[in-house]
Amino acid sequence: MNDVLEALVKIVGKDFASNHHEERYFYGRDPGLMTPHEADYVVMPKTTEEVQQIVKLANKEKVSIVPKGAGLALTGLVIPLRGGIVMDMKRMDKIIEVNEGARYVVVEGGVSNGALRDHLNKHYPDLRHSVPEAPPITTIAANVVIHGQGRLTNQYGFNSDMVNGLEVVLPTGDVCKIGSCSVGPFWFSKGPPLPDLSGLFLGWLGTTGILTKVGLKLYPKKKMKDLEILVTDKEDLIPYIIYKITHTEMVEDLAIWAQERPLMFRGNYHINIFLTADSEDELEMKRKMVYDSVQAYVDSRDAGFMTINLDMRHDFMDNPQKSMTAFADVRKGGGFEYAGPIIPMELYPECARKVAELAVKYKVVYGGSGRVIHGGHCMMFSFAYTFNRANQDEMGRARKALHEAAEFVADKGGLLWKPNIDEQKIMMERMDPNTLELMMSIKKLLDPNGIMNPGNWEAR
């Protein structure tokens, strides 16, 4: 046994540290299109103290560390680009506290979205968190680190906006609390009225520290929910329609989708309007307000509400939406990846045309979807392409389509979400130099030995 493995075993026990090729291989890749790179070690800590010891060991040995949740960002963010230790956080799976009155939860860094959803359903039926459409094994911590979104994003913003406090193991191995939990027992604020230090960790893709605890806001869970789907074949109208609907402030979630398979959907843009309420009267009132807000488009026959069959309703109401994951195998190839830039609403029509145009150019199948963020200040637009994992040529074409999509959106002024290392470069190349300098200075200050997820957010 080599020295690093021996030290890891001493920290977490022999069952939870490995340098076997099976783990090095699997943890060296993700389901997306980025080039794999094998880990040297995989370790699964159970406590914050174990995380601290591992980080201190990594500093001493100058070995890099990549913290990992489920590894489903699809953009290679947990591929250990320079080898080293992949730290699988999923054994840190305790839901520590739910403060029902203040509507927040505190979870360990490996708690999954599925586990929290179930815990709230069973024990706090009036509360919910913003469940992403990603598979339920995805972790709360990883989701906020990448500025993920969920079912409540239209109402309350990015899931990272819902953070109420953090416990972070810094790249030096010290533990730091962020927000109200740093001065008292409560986790009701991630910063305000103090300086908001959560920004040192959210969006940094694990390069500035490891989240071992997350405080997260919870929201009222309404007794009933419903779905309406408005369809138009005019992508140019989408920003206006969204503006009208969001003006009502009646909608839980707004998602827009367009896809070429099955063929009946081709050429149309579907706006999923999710409504929630505590009574039939409230639901009816919200539904009426939404109808009224788009009546002009219906009257002009530019848009109409579609009939939703039972299976489709079930699929869309499901949260997380299992059918979204099934997109990966729509052509029996087992792969899909998406570039998901954050864009102002007005860029929707151009993006909607581009996703289809790139699919033709690179001979791949597309899905284009968007999710409105925080009442319409911006949206996430997903350029999604499927690929056959056994077809290297098709994988290469999908990769090119995604890269071209990223450059297109960046040129238009969009921000690349959970960017892979190439997309990070695209962002940094276009970034104000002083902003970039500030980012690099912060990173260097926090991680002097450059051990945290190296290769990410690195300027030349």
Partner 1 sequence: MQQQDYASQIHRCFRCGYCKFPTDYSSLNCPAYRRFRFDTYSTGGRLWLIYGWLKGDVEWSERLAEILYTCTTCKNCTEQCPMKFAPDIVDWIVGARSDMVEKGKIPPRVARFFEAVYGYGNPYKLLRDDRAAWANGTKIYAPGDEYLLYVGCLGSYDENGQRMARSLADVLNAAGVSFGILGNDEECCGNEVYMMGEMGLFQTLVEKNNQKFKEHGVKKIVTLSPHAYNVMKNRYPSLGASFEVYHYSQLLADLIKENKVKLSPNKAKVTYQDPCFLGRYNQIYEEPRKILCSIPGLELMEMEKNRADAFCCGGGSGNFIMDLLAGGQDSPARIRIRDAYATGADTLAVACPSCLAMFTDAVKSEGLEDKLTVKDISQIVLESLPTRRH
Residue 259 forms beta bridges with which residues?
367
Q: Which CB atom, from 247 or from 322, has the smaller least distance to partner 1?
A: 322
Q: CA angle at residue 77 from 149 to 320, to 5 degrees?
A: 30
Strands of the sheet with 95-99, listed across from one edge = 95-99, 104-108, 210-217, 163-169, 175-178
What is the amino acid identity at position 290? V
Output the 3-class SS for 310-363: HHHHHHHHCCCCHHHHHHHHCCCCEEEEEECCEECHHHHHHHHHHHHHHHHHHC
Q: 49, 100, 118, 292: which one contacts partner 1 (CB under 8 A)? A: 118
Q: Which CB atom, from 110 or from 341, has the smaller least distance to partner 1?
A: 110
What is the amino acid identity at position 121? N
Q: CA angle at residue 132 from 346 to 205, to 5 degrees?
A: 80
Residue 67 to residue 30: CA distance in whole angstroms: 14
Least distance to partner 1, CB of residue 109, Å:
15
Least distance to partner 1, CB of residue 4, Å:
17
Would you count residue 305 as binding partner 1 (CB under 8 A)?
Answer: no
What is the amino acid identity at position 45? P
Stretch that binds partner 1, among 114-122, 186-194, 252-260, 429-437 (CB under 8 A): 114-122
Least distance to partner 1, CB of residue 51, Å:
16
Q: 11, 44, 144, 401: which one contacts partner 1 (CB under 8 A)? A: 44
Stretch that binds partner 1, among 111-119, 229-237, 347-355, 426-434 (CB under 8 A): 111-119
Stretch that binds partner 1, among 15-23, 189-197, 429-437, 444-452 (CB under 8 A): 15-23
Would you count residue 389 as binding partner 1 (CB under 8 A)?
Answer: yes
Residue 196 to residues 129, 158, 184: CA-CA distances in angstroms?
Answer: 22, 16, 16
Q: What is the dihedral of CA 17, 445, 168, 99, to 10 degrees?
A: -160
Q: Which CB atom, from 234 or from 331, has the smaller least distance to partner 1?
A: 331
What element of type H or E holds 386?
strand 378-388
Phi then psi for residue 303, to 5 deg, are -150, 160
Q: How is residue 242 written in tokens? A: 């969204």
Q: How is residue 107 written in tokens? A: 């979870």
Q: 23, 40, 167, 252: which one contacts partner 1 (CB under 8 A)? A: 23
Least distance to partner 1, CB of residue 296, Å:
39
Q: Which CB atom, from 27 or from 187, has the smaller least distance to partner 1?
A: 27
Residue 280 to residues 176, 222, 283: CA-CA distances in angstroms?
Answer: 47, 11, 5
Q: Which CB atom, from 31 or from 239, has the smaller least distance to partner 1?
A: 31
Q: Which CB atom, from 42 or from 77, has the smaller least distance to partner 1?
A: 42
Q: How is residue 394 written in tokens? A: 């098709």
Would you count residue 123 as binding partner 1 (CB under 8 A)?
Answer: no
Residue 358 to residue 362: CA distance in whole angstroms: 6
Q: 260, 329, 407, 458: which one contacts partner 1 (CB under 8 A)? A: 329
Stretch that binds partner 1, among 68-76, 203-211, 241-249, 419-427 (CB under 8 A): 68-76
Strands 41-43 and 85-88: parallel
Q: 14, 21, 353, 377: which one contacts partner 1 (CB under 8 A)? A: 21
For residues 345 to 384, the per-residue mask of contacts with partner 1, x marking binding by CB under 8 A and - elsewhere, is: ----------------------------------------
Would you count residue 333 as binding partner 1 (CB under 8 A)?
Answer: yes
Q: Which CB atom, from 88 or from 161, has the smaller least distance to partner 1?
A: 88
Would you count residue 135 as binding partner 1 (CB under 8 A)?
Answer: yes
Nearest to 52 by CA among 214, 215, 209, 202: 209
Would you count residue 47 as binding partner 1 (CB under 8 A)?
Answer: no
Would you count residue 396 as binding partner 1 (CB under 8 A)?
Answer: no
Residue 63 to residues 60, 85, 204, 206, 254: CA-CA distances in angstroms?
Answer: 8, 7, 19, 15, 44
Would you count residue 112 as binding partner 1 (CB under 8 A)?
Answer: yes
Stretch that binds partner 1, among 19-27, 77-85, 269-277, 288-296 (CB under 8 A): 19-27
Q: 3, 22, 281, 299: which one contacts partner 1 (CB under 8 A)? A: 22
Q: 2, 35, 121, 435: which one contacts partner 1 (CB under 8 A)? A: 121
Q: 334, 396, 413, 448: which one contacts partner 1 (CB under 8 A)? A: 334
DSSP codes joined into one string, 59-76: HHHT--EEEESS--SSSS
Contacts with partner 1 by CB under 8 A lie at 15-16, 18, 20-23, 25-27, 29, 31, 42, 44, 70-72, 88, 90-91, 112, 114-115, 117-119, 121-122, 135-137, 322-323, 325-326, 328-329, 332-336, 388-390
